A = this chain, B = another copy of it.
Amino acid sequence: MPKVLWKPGTMIYPVPAVLVSCGTKQDGFNIITIAWTGTLCTDPPLCYISVRPERCSHAIISRHKEFVINLTTERLARATDWCGVKSGREFDKFNEMKLTPLKASKVKAPLIAESPLNIECRVTDIRPMGSHDMFIAEVVAVHADELLINPATGAFKLSHSRPMCFLHGHYFGLGHMIGKFGFSVRKKKK
Protein backbone atom coordinates (compact mmCIF):
# COMPACT_ATOMS: atom_id res chain seq x y z
CA MET A 1 0.00 0.00 0.00
CA PRO A 2 2.12 2.94 -1.18
CA LYS A 3 1.37 6.18 0.65
CA VAL A 4 1.50 9.76 -0.57
CA LEU A 5 2.60 12.40 1.93
CA TRP A 6 0.36 15.48 2.04
CA LYS A 7 0.73 18.72 3.86
CA PRO A 8 -1.23 19.02 7.14
CA GLY A 9 -4.99 19.34 6.78
CA THR A 10 -8.19 18.25 8.46
CA MET A 11 -9.18 14.93 6.95
CA ILE A 12 -11.18 13.10 9.62
CA TYR A 13 -14.13 11.52 7.78
CA PRO A 14 -16.98 10.54 7.68
CA VAL A 15 -18.38 13.20 10.01
CA PRO A 16 -21.92 14.30 10.85
CA ALA A 17 -23.50 17.25 9.02
CA VAL A 18 -25.89 18.68 11.57
CA LEU A 19 -28.30 21.60 11.49
CA VAL A 20 -27.58 23.89 14.43
CA SER A 21 -30.51 26.11 15.35
CA CYS A 22 -30.01 29.22 17.46
CA GLY A 23 -31.51 32.56 18.45
CA THR A 24 -34.71 33.38 20.29
CA LYS A 25 -38.27 34.02 19.18
CA GLN A 26 -37.85 37.70 19.94
CA ASP A 27 -34.45 38.13 18.23
CA GLY A 28 -35.23 35.73 15.40
CA PHE A 29 -34.14 32.16 14.78
CA ASN A 30 -31.30 31.04 12.56
CA ILE A 31 -29.81 27.76 11.32
CA ILE A 32 -26.21 26.93 10.41
CA THR A 33 -24.88 23.63 9.07
CA ILE A 34 -21.92 22.26 10.99
CA ALA A 35 -19.62 19.33 10.22
CA TRP A 36 -16.98 20.24 12.81
CA THR A 37 -18.98 18.78 15.72
CA GLY A 38 -18.79 15.77 18.02
CA THR A 39 -18.90 14.39 21.53
CA LEU A 40 -16.18 15.49 23.97
CA CYS A 41 -17.28 13.59 27.06
CA THR A 42 -19.89 10.97 27.92
CA ASP A 43 -20.40 11.92 31.58
CA PRO A 44 -21.19 14.76 31.89
CA PRO A 45 -22.48 14.84 28.30
CA LEU A 46 -20.35 17.49 26.59
CA CYS A 47 -20.11 18.28 22.91
CA TYR A 48 -18.75 21.01 20.65
CA ILE A 49 -19.37 22.88 17.46
CA SER A 50 -16.67 24.90 15.68
CA VAL A 51 -17.90 28.01 13.86
CA ARG A 52 -16.13 30.70 11.84
CA PRO A 53 -16.40 34.11 13.60
CA GLU A 54 -17.72 35.73 10.41
CA ARG A 55 -20.81 33.52 10.38
CA CYS A 56 -24.10 35.12 11.45
CA SER A 57 -24.79 32.27 13.90
CA HIS A 58 -21.45 32.86 15.65
CA ALA A 59 -22.69 36.19 17.03
CA ILE A 60 -26.10 34.76 17.92
CA ILE A 61 -24.67 31.77 19.83
CA SER A 62 -22.04 33.96 21.51
CA ARG A 63 -24.84 36.25 22.73
CA HIS A 64 -27.33 33.66 23.96
CA LYS A 65 -24.89 30.85 24.91
CA GLU A 66 -27.41 28.26 23.68
CA PHE A 67 -28.06 26.21 20.57
CA VAL A 68 -29.71 23.00 19.41
CA ILE A 69 -27.97 20.28 17.38
CA ASN A 70 -30.50 18.71 14.99
CA LEU A 71 -29.40 15.46 13.33
CA THR A 72 -29.97 15.24 9.58
CA THR A 73 -31.33 12.70 7.14
CA GLU A 74 -31.34 12.07 3.42
CA ARG A 75 -34.65 13.94 3.25
CA LEU A 76 -32.99 16.96 4.91
CA ALA A 77 -29.98 16.86 2.56
CA ARG A 78 -30.99 19.88 0.48
CA ALA A 79 -31.79 22.00 3.55
CA THR A 80 -28.53 20.88 5.17
CA ASP A 81 -26.48 21.93 2.16
CA TRP A 82 -28.39 25.19 1.67
CA CYS A 83 -28.12 26.26 5.33
CA GLY A 84 -24.36 25.73 5.11
CA VAL A 85 -23.98 27.92 2.05
CA LYS A 86 -26.44 30.75 2.70
CA SER A 87 -26.40 33.40 5.43
CA GLY A 88 -29.00 34.24 8.04
CA ARG A 89 -28.23 37.89 7.31
CA GLU A 90 -30.06 37.49 3.99
CA PHE A 91 -32.60 34.73 4.58
CA ASP A 92 -35.08 33.43 7.11
CA LYS A 93 -33.78 29.90 6.80
CA PHE A 94 -36.70 28.19 8.57
CA ASN A 95 -39.07 29.85 6.14
CA GLU A 96 -36.96 29.29 3.01
CA MET A 97 -36.40 25.60 3.74
CA LYS A 98 -39.95 25.03 5.09
CA LEU A 99 -38.60 23.80 8.40
CA THR A 100 -40.71 23.98 11.56
CA PRO A 101 -39.34 25.55 14.75
CA LEU A 102 -40.54 23.81 17.92
CA LYS A 103 -40.22 25.05 21.48
CA ALA A 104 -37.29 23.43 23.30
CA SER A 105 -37.52 22.38 26.94
CA LYS A 106 -34.46 24.05 28.49
CA VAL A 107 -33.11 26.57 25.96
CA LYS A 108 -34.68 29.40 23.96
CA ALA A 109 -33.26 28.22 20.64
CA PRO A 110 -35.82 26.16 18.69
CA LEU A 111 -35.81 22.48 17.80
CA ILE A 112 -36.21 21.62 14.12
CA ALA A 113 -39.32 19.43 14.01
CA GLU A 114 -38.25 17.58 10.84
CA SER A 115 -35.03 16.30 12.48
CA PRO A 116 -35.14 12.81 14.04
CA LEU A 117 -33.14 13.87 17.08
CA ASN A 118 -32.63 17.26 18.72
CA ILE A 119 -29.92 17.95 21.28
CA GLU A 120 -30.36 21.04 23.45
CA CYS A 121 -26.99 22.56 24.37
CA ARG A 122 -25.79 25.28 26.73
CA VAL A 123 -22.37 26.80 26.01
CA THR A 124 -19.82 26.46 28.82
CA ASP A 125 -16.73 27.77 27.03
CA ILE A 126 -15.73 29.51 23.79
CA ARG A 127 -12.17 28.85 22.63
CA PRO A 128 -10.68 30.71 19.65
CA MET A 129 -8.67 28.27 17.53
CA GLY A 130 -7.83 30.20 14.34
CA SER A 131 -10.26 30.09 11.42
CA HIS A 132 -12.86 28.64 13.80
CA ASP A 133 -13.93 29.17 17.40
CA MET A 134 -14.83 26.06 19.38
CA PHE A 135 -18.04 26.29 21.42
CA ILE A 136 -17.92 23.68 24.17
CA ALA A 137 -21.42 22.92 25.41
CA GLU A 138 -23.26 20.77 27.89
CA VAL A 139 -26.18 18.69 26.63
CA VAL A 140 -29.21 19.70 28.72
CA ALA A 141 -32.00 17.76 26.97
CA VAL A 142 -32.55 15.38 24.05
CA HIS A 143 -35.71 14.93 21.96
CA ALA A 144 -36.24 11.85 19.83
CA ASP A 145 -38.76 11.24 17.08
CA GLU A 146 -41.39 8.94 18.59
CA LEU A 147 -41.78 7.08 15.30
CA LEU A 148 -38.22 5.72 15.65
CA ILE A 149 -38.98 4.10 19.01
CA ASN A 150 -40.33 0.57 19.05
CA PRO A 151 -43.40 0.83 21.35
CA ALA A 152 -43.01 -2.78 22.50
CA THR A 153 -39.29 -2.78 23.36
CA GLY A 154 -38.51 0.92 23.74
CA ALA A 155 -35.56 0.45 21.36
CA PHE A 156 -34.59 3.57 19.42
CA LYS A 157 -33.62 2.90 15.79
CA LEU A 158 -31.87 6.04 14.56
CA SER A 159 -30.89 4.20 11.38
CA HIS A 160 -34.57 4.10 10.36
CA SER A 161 -34.43 7.88 9.89
CA ARG A 162 -31.98 7.36 6.98
CA PRO A 163 -29.14 9.42 8.49
CA MET A 164 -26.65 11.24 6.34
CA CYS A 165 -22.93 11.83 6.74
CA PHE A 166 -20.32 14.10 5.16
CA LEU A 167 -17.16 12.74 3.54
CA HIS A 168 -14.53 15.00 2.00
CA GLY A 169 -16.93 17.43 0.28
CA HIS A 170 -19.79 15.01 -0.39
CA TYR A 171 -22.94 13.92 1.44
CA PHE A 172 -23.63 10.19 1.65
CA GLY A 173 -26.47 8.08 2.96
CA LEU A 174 -25.69 5.12 5.20
CA GLY A 175 -25.32 1.66 3.72
CA HIS A 176 -25.64 -1.73 5.34
CA MET A 177 -25.12 -2.44 9.03
CA ILE A 178 -21.73 -4.12 9.54
CA GLY A 179 -22.02 -5.07 13.18
CA LYS A 180 -22.89 -4.04 16.69
CA PHE A 181 -20.29 -2.62 19.07
CA GLY A 182 -18.49 -5.62 20.57
CA PHE A 183 -19.32 -7.98 17.69
CA SER A 184 -15.65 -9.03 17.33
CA VAL A 185 -15.59 -10.62 20.79
CA ARG A 186 -19.16 -11.84 21.10
CA LYS A 187 -19.55 -15.58 21.60
CA LYS A 188 -21.56 -17.30 18.92
CA LYS A 189 -24.81 -18.90 20.07
CA LYS A 190 -24.78 -22.70 19.82
Contact = CB atoms under 8 A, between A and B. Distances in A.
Contacts of A26: none
Given A167-B163, A175-B173, A12 B47 contact: yes
Count of chain copies: 2
Contacts of A5: 105, 141-143
A170 B175 contact: no
Interface of A: 1-16, 18, 35-48, 50, 69, 71, 74, 77-79, 81-82, 84-86, 102, 105, 111, 113-114, 117-119, 129-132, 134, 138-147, 149, 156, 158-159, 163-185
A156 B4 CA distance: 11
Contacts of A159: 167-168, 170, 172
Nearest to A118: B3
Given A10-B47, A42-B10, A130-B44, A78 B184 contact: yes
B173 A130 contact: no
A174 B181 contact: no
Contact of A43 (B3, B38, B77, B131): B131
